[in-house]
Structure 1
Amino acid sequence: MSSQHTIATRIAQLRQIIAQHDYNYYALDAPTVPDSEYDRLFAELRELEQQHPELITNDSPTQRVSGQASAAFTQVEHQVPMLSLGNAFAEEQVLEFALRAEQALGADQSHNDLFSPAVTVEYCCEPKLDGLAVSISYEQGVLVRAATRGDGQTGEDITANVRTIRNVPLKLQGEGWPEFLEVRGEVYMPKVGFEALNQRALAAGQKPFANPRNAAAGSLRQLDSKITASRPLEFCCYGSSTEGLADRHSSTLQRLQGWGIMISPEMQVVESIQGCLAYYADIGQRRAQLPYDIDGVVFKVDALEQQRTLGFRAREPRWALAYKFAAQEEITELLDVEFQVGRTGAVTPVARLKPVHVGGVMVANATLHNMDEVARLGVMIGDSVIVRRAGDVIPQITQVVLERRPSDARPVQTPSHCPVCGSQVERTQLVRRSKNKQVVSDGAVWRCMGRLSCQAQLQQALIHFVARRAMDIDGLGEKIIEQLVTTKLVASPADLYRLSYEQVLELDGFADLSARNLLSAIAGSKRPRLARLIFALGIPDVGEETAKVLARALGSLQRVQQAYPETLLWLPEIGAEVAHEIASFFADSHNQAVLAQLAELDVHAVDEGQPDVEFQACTTFAGFIEQFQITGVASTNAQRLAEHFKTLEALFAADWLDLSSIARMSKNTAQAVQDFIKQEGQRQRVLQLEQQLIDFGMHWTCQREQVQAAPLAGQTWVLTGGLEELTREQAKARLELLGAKVAGSVSAKTNCVVAGSSAGSKLTRAQELGIAVLDEAEFIAKLAELENQ
């Protein structure tokens, strides 16, 4: 046997031995050799590799730190979004979560049989580590990529830094792992390591970290991985996006542990929500003794089939909940209250505090939400106040210590004029119809009336308008927008589309190529999808999901602009206050002018058309009558009136005899209805509302159009792997325009899978189920074919 072969064999042996010791130490917490022996083996491996560099491989333990410092982090799009969890801060919220889950699962299993026994739900409980969420991907068992959570869709590539974390295996242990495996977990810094790090910082005259979470996040985002390697970081896995590993969440984690991936030793499966509460109480009592910081516990429905049944809402799963610990509180002094102006003009009070440590973080500012909250607290400037970090994150004042109030304490006054632009500040008004009356009440928000002439509102409105989930104008960061506003080049979102090459070139940091790229990005944003355009406008209380509802239900920006609040109330998830905010936004003359300018500049949605067929004839005559809020007319009497008169015309023509003849309707109610229909102003408003329902195709007499279904209507597609010609978001958008639903996992109901480069377990699953698979070239050709039909 050759000398070279003997050395290669020894190197492979050492790597295997060291990997096993890492597994014993980190995953099992059961080291079998002293540190000195481990160090001796590591030194031998390093020496052999230095003598024979041709034998070095990326998965060698010696290669955790390699290469030069990175100039920046590249963006990584998660194949499956990294969703956040819903939070609970009280036991009642946990019980409500369990009740919803168990009722949903019970209905699913019983097929609406009310007499079937309640479904049994087991929960997997884990401590909620206070660190930074990351995903780590393995191909053929070798670590190939790691990324931060980012915004859930896109994170930063931190592969080089994660490779330096000692308990993250560069190569998986054992066997049976899939071709592609993605694990998710938390990178954190143990308490002992954090204290040692801060002692070193103080000794070097450097500023210490405020808490272990900040230290972990800062260490993981170093551009030089050698710095990350010097920090005492650890990783704990809490799940995997790879399907088919097991049928339960807990079994998935145990399987991952068998491949050398660390999971929480505190993980426990309990049979009921009462078991979850007992686990929470136990961990809470032992929290201070744990070797790491936690800010709560996480409960997950353990059976994966039950998780699939429960599904998701917006950006969080219905099968998981984070139960946060009560925030720590401290007493400090309220030095002053300043007012900040937000994107919608809301003037918000912010407390300036005498700095105090709360839960390991120095707190100098706290939110006061609005002036109603100031009044509720009875807080005055100079007071001693109790401050806590809500959910261990957001500082807020919870109480005034009245016995400590000084004689010179001053009341908090709402400014009469905007602190930024000097415009008038007015309190918002809420207008509601109640019992045949228009009721006007004070809102909780005070607003600067300067609108886009206010630099604070303009700057925040532009930041929102250009954001990735809105108009998605790449290259327009906050600093550039600040320049555009300060130099008065941009006074509204429409002005972005008027910028010239010469104007951009004069901005700090721009040269020929960057100026042309920015103008190209702005021009390329002129054809957004309708939901994006609505969201970009920054309508108060209208987030992405509400924007999608408006786009789908009404089909055009013009209809959204014209819609009465009462019409909007027929749409799902839109309540009275949101409907009022939408109508008020489009009634504003400043907003109308900006919309007109955008239209003149040829900015319009690419997918405008007719309202979705699901909203045609979606109203009922009884529900329409109930909207009038006539005294005594709730759902039952509204139904009686609808059945008796059939049409609005007949109802308006009714007299006392007609109304009093309706069975089981009291004389008082009949009189209230007659009084209502006699008022000319009320009649005109009701007729206007009915006409709009007819115009929008929502009236109960409208016929559902027999439209040709979208080419992919009713189909479910899955995207996996990396695409080169399209971003994942672009591919998803084009599929949705064709009527398809884009899912994150492969099941028997999946119609087609698009497999890009490095496609892993989803492709394997599709092949096992015999589902059609397209590569990127075939996918693009298919899109073109369907879009041209």
Structure 2
Amino acid sequence: MTEAPQRDAAQRSAAQTEAAQRILQLRGELDEHNYRYYVLDEPSVPDAEYDRLFNELKALEAEHPELVSRDSPTQRVGGEALAAFGQVRHEVPMLSLGNAFEEQDLLDFDRRVREGLDLPGGDLFGDGALIDYSCEPKLDGLAVSLLYQDGRLVRGATRGDGSTGEDISSNVRTVRNIPLKLHGEDWPGVLEVRGEVFMSKAGFEALNARQLESGGKPFANPRNAAAGSLRQLDPKVTASRPLEFCCYGIGRVEGELPDSHIGILQALKRWGLPISPELKLAKGAEACLAYYRAIGEKRDALPYEIDGVVFKVDNLAFQRELGFRAREPRWAIAHKFPAREEVTELLDVEFQVGRTGAITPVARLKPVQVAGVTVSNATLHNMDEVARLGVMIGDSVIVRRAGDVIPQVLGVIAERRPADARAVQVPSQCPVCGSAVERTQLIKRSKGKESVSEGSIYRCVGRLACQAQLKQAIIHFVSRRAMDIDGLGDKIVEQLVDEGLVSSPADLYTLGFDQVVALDGFAEVSSNNLLAAIEASKRPTLARFIYALGIPDVGEETAKLLARALGSLQRIEQALPEVLTYLPDVGQEVAHEIHSFFQDGHNHEVIAQLLERGIDLQEEGGPHAEFAACASFAGFVDKLNISGIAATGAKNLADKAGSLEALIALSQDWLELSVMKGLNGRAKQALREFFAKPQNVERARAIEAQLREFGMHWHSEKKIVEGLPLAGQTWVLTGSLEVMSRDEAKVKLENLGAKVAGSVSAKTTCVVAGPGAGSKLAKASELGVKVLDEEAFLAELERLAG
């Protein structure tokens, strides 16, 4: 043998050896991932990472067919059945689908289908033969097989490895939308239905809430929750989980069926089996791509998780002619959406400062494509979350991005941790202003005592002397839902602060033309427009102004409540915490935050400057009649938070004393108090000790004096309360409204007395659902809450207005 052929043979041998080693490594990794995913229900990597490893193995085996073995992951679908369940042999294998990740992948699939059927392809004069494809979302759950004999459900099984699955008959019988007996009479004598068991977004949220309430561990996502729920050894556990089923095809059949895939699904629907409401027939690849884009746009609004779209040749005769590969049919493909989860490296953790001074850890990542967007930063929420994740700088982390949500770090792949990984440390000084960083304390107030514990937030103590807090405070102040100063964006605010032109929100109203026109990007017209917008903002409603101040824990709804109930800025500033707790949904912690904000000297000065510089509050008036009528002497006693005295004891004391001064006297008359009924000895002693302290007597008298001042005292003259038609009701808006915006609808509902909430619960009165309504509509249906479309909603508004 000459030297050159020998060298070539040696190179081929080395390449084969290298490929064999890599194939063995990939098989080992994929087998481990399959075991964690299918057997332990603890996936260690996101789907995108698994797909990359699988496709690499598939390509290597295609290059080296001599290295393909029957136990390769490319030759089977999933993992082994659990020994705890009986095994089911699938007479017709439950195969997986090939994947398309790019549009060209789908076009290539369509070309292969047409070539396989020997149909004419496209040319310059036309598109050629167009194939009919069924289109439906690819649900993210657990594939199962349901066997019906003579119309009755006799067996349920998981897909398992495609040939053998787990017998989960007892569990599938607990899934409420799986019929135990088929409807009608024309079904085949033997019918094996295949589909996906999944969990809706609303069901998943409710399940995790229950898990947390009971001290259990929350599930990572709806797919894991559905898989774990369906594979419980105790069917009672499965029955308690909000599982749903959607069928997508058939297996073994003895009897007649329609000759198209969609025809079969429609027959299954007639027999009582759920199919996808998004099922559609598309003619040709371009129509399939249009469907894929349309579903992608409404993905976040769907009530369930999907990870792509499945396209199948609709004609069953064509399916039979095309046949199968080793692990997948030639007549179907799954067109995946861009991955929402990816693996990347955590390069560093930096700390940002928010408008309240909160120091928030932000992950700096090695750039990675997630859901079609390059992600280099992700939120870590707070240091408690860092500890929960166990994340260290240098780790390989799983990052998720969904819709417009800020990317977040979901977990750590601990086995990839490098030796030089570093712990995440909170800075002792603010990274912006150098002020001290302190951990917040949580003060929990209950009857007669306060308990203090460490909070999860670290805060810069520099307040508005810290430029980061100042910038964020002003950005919030001028935002659309606050003072609504058009044209004053983040970059302009940063310039104003950096140039020293603004050191508090009040300084915005001292800006002149010469100062504005000197800023980057400003000319005469834009400067005049900005100054006009600032001038136009001087007449905000009281609610907008309160929200704009950025009081901790006071969002839009609480700001509206304060404005509507107390009626004036002066009363809100003066209100004592105990008086504020008369407002619905304002607890002791929020009441103390509001009171502390207005007692702060700096905040008081800024508000005074704003009023001096032209802020003219609209919609001020007296306390709302409903609020003024809500105080009783029994309620007053209860709000003094005397240890051991709850609502019943407070009522008994109120009935006995009748007034505060009489109550103070009673507390010190031990003989009279000792014979009083309706109060135990411990509560009597607590009452005596409470009023024995002069500061408590002074506080109680101050609260009563304020109730008199606000017209809320139980002896005050009560105004006639004109009940609003929707008072006490909770409404939810979802989807897009066409005649009016959701903001406009919200205002109309609030003006009628309704509370407009952001989520659906058992306490929801009504849901208004426009086009694109998703998980909230599903939750309303699940709970039996009344639902109105926009037309019915507008009619209801007209009726109430009349």
For normalisation by structure 1, the TM-score amounts to 0.52
Aligned to 1:544: 556
Structural mapping, 1:747-766, within 5 Å: none
Structural mapping, 1:63-212, within 5 Å: 88-89=204-205, 91-93=207-209
Q: Answer whether contact 2:396 2:417 (CA < 8 A) is retained.
A: no
Aligned to 1:606: 618
CA distance in 2, matches of 1:578, 1:731: 28
Deviations 1:681-720 (A, max 9, x none): 1111222222222222333333322489999999x9xxx9
Deviations 1:610-635 (A, max 9, x none): 12111112123333323333332222
Q: Which amino acid aligns with 1:234?
A: A
CA distance in 1, matches of 2:606, 2:707: 27
Deviations 1:563-595 (A, max 9, x none): 222222221122233223222322222222211
- In structure 2, relative to structure 1, the CA distance for the partners of 1:656 and 1:496 (3 Å cut) is same
By how many angstroms is 1:606 displaced?
0.9
Structure 1 residue corresponding to 2:400, chosen from 370, 389, 392:
389
Deviations 1:486-538 (A, max 9, x none): 21111111111111111111122222222111111110110111111111111
1:603 aligned counterpart, secondary structure: coil
Structure 2 residue corresponding to 1:624, chosen from 620, 624, 636:
636
Q: Which amino acid aligns with 2:710?
A: F
Structural mapping, 1:204-243, within 5 Å: 233-234=293-294
- In structure 2, relative to structure 1, the CA distance for the partners of 1:423 and 1:692 (3 Å cut) is same
Aligned to 2:319: none
Deviations 1:269-293 (A, max 9, x none): xxxxxxxxxxxxxxxxxxx964353
Aligned-residue RMSD, C-alpha: 5.4
Q: Answer whether contact 1:766 1:773 (CA < 8 A) is retained.
A: no
Aligned to 1:702: 716
By how many angstroms is 1:541 displaced?
1.9
- In structure 2, relative to structure 1, the CA distance for the partners of 1:500 and 1:362 (3 Å cut) is closer
- In structure 2, relative to structure 1, the CA distance for the partners of 1:768 and 1:429 (3 Å cut) is closer
Deviations 1:74-113 (A, max 9, x none): xxxxxxxxxxx9794463559999xxxxxxxxxxxxxxxx
- In structure 2, relative to structure 1, the CA distance for the partners of 1:510 and 1:391 (3 Å cut) is closer
Aligned to 1:681: 695
CA distance in 2, matches of 1:686, 1:402: 61
2:540 aligned counterpart, secondary structure: coil
Structural mapping, 1:279-678, within 5 Å: 290-293=334-337, 330=343, 334-354=346-366, 363-377=375-389, 379-382=391-394, 384=395, 386-389=397-400, 393=405, 394-398=407-411, 401=414, 404=417, 406=419, 409-654=421-666, 655-678=669-692
Q: Answer whether contact 1:616 1:703 (CA < 8 A) is retained.
A: no
By how many angstroms is 1:769 displaced?
10
Q: Answer whether contact 1:472 1:525 (CA < 8 A) is retained.
A: yes
- In structure 2, relative to structure 1, the CA distance for the partners of 1:402 and 1:291 (3 Å cut) is closer
- In structure 2, relative to structure 1, the CA distance for the partners of 1:662 and 1:458 (3 Å cut) is same
Q: Answer whether contact 2:310 2:334 (CA < 8 A) is retained.
A: no
Q: Answer whether contact 2:565 2:624 (CA < 8 A) is retained.
A: yes
Q: Answer whether contact 2:435 2:462 (CA < 8 A) is retained.
A: yes
Q: Which amino acid aligns with 2:514?
A: E
Deviations 1:14-53 (A, max 9, x none): xxxxxxxxxxx9xxxxxxxx9979997999xxxxxxxxxx
2:335 aligned counterpart, secondary structure: coil
Q: Which amino acid aligns with 2:335?
A: P
Higher alpha-carbon deviation: 585-594 or 88-97: 88-97
Aligned to 2:783: none
Q: Which amino acid aligns with 1:557?
A: L
CA distance in 2, matches of 1:360, 1:513: 39
- In structure 2, relative to structure 1, the CA distance for the partners of 1:606 and 1:512 (3 Å cut) is same
**Largest Rg, 1 or 2:** 2
By how many angstroms is 1:123 displaced?
12
Q: Answer whether contact 1:429 1:442 (CA < 8 A) is retained.
A: yes
CA distance in 1, matches of 2:338, 2:366: 27
Q: Answer whether contact 2:347 2:366 (CA < 8 A) is retained.
A: yes
Structural mapping, 1:706-725, within 5 Å: 706=720
- In structure 2, relative to structure 1, the CA distance for the partners of 1:671 and 1:545 (3 Å cut) is same
By how many angstroms is 1:430 displaced?
3.6
Q: Answer whether contact 1:640 1:662 (CA < 8 A) is retained.
A: no
CA distance in 2, matches of 1:370, 1:712: 39
- In structure 2, relative to structure 1, the CA distance for the partners of 1:518 and 1:544 (3 Å cut) is same
CA distance in 2, matches of 1:710, 1:436: 37
Identity of aligned residues (%): 49
Q: Which amino acid aligns with 1:662?
A: M
2:363 aligned counterpart, secondary structure: strand
CA distance in 1, matches of 2:446, 2:610: 37
Q: Which amino acid aligns with 2:585?
A: E
Q: Answer whether contact 1:337 1:351 (CA < 8 A) is retained.
A: yes
Q: Answer whether contact 1:88 1:94 (CA < 8 A) is retained.
A: no
By how many angstroms is 1:237 displaced?
9.2
CA distance in 1, matches of 2:351, 2:477: 24
CA distance in 1, matches of 2:753, 2:798: 16
CA distance in 1, matches of 2:387, 2:726: 55
Q: Answer whether contact 1:613 1:705 (CA < 8 A) is retained.
A: yes
By how many angstroms is 1:739 displaced?
7.1
For structure 2, the residue ranges without an aligned partner over 5 or more in a row are 1-109, 111-118, 129-200, 214-241, 248-277, 279-284, 304-308, 313-331, 732-736, 757-787
CA distance in 2, matches of 1:515, 1:356: 40
Structure 2 residue corresponding to 1:690, chosen from 704, 707, 723:
704
Q: Which amino acid aligns with 1:686?
A: A
Q: Answer whether contact 2:447 2:645 (CA < 8 A) is retained.
A: no
Count of aligned pairs: 492
CA distance in 1, matches of 2:681, 2:791: 70
1:653 aligned counterpart, secondary structure: helix
Q: Answer whether contact 2:573 2:598 (CA < 8 A) is retained.
A: yes
For structure 1, the residue ranges without an aligned partner over 5 or more in a row are 1-24, 26-33, 44-84, 98-121, 128-184, 186-191, 197-215, 217-228, 242-248, 251-262, 267-287, 296-326, 744-760, 775-781, 783-789
By how many angstroms is 1:548 displaced?
0.9
By how many angstroms is 1:434 displaced?
3.6
Q: Answer whether contact 1:531 1:550 (CA < 8 A) is retained.
A: yes
By how many angstroms is 1:555 displaced?
0.9
- In structure 2, relative to structure 1, the CA distance for the partners of 1:768 and 1:656 (3 Å cut) is closer
1:291 aligned counterpart, secondary structure: strand
1:234 aligned counterpart, secondary structure: helix
Q: Which amino acid aligns with 2:539?
A: R
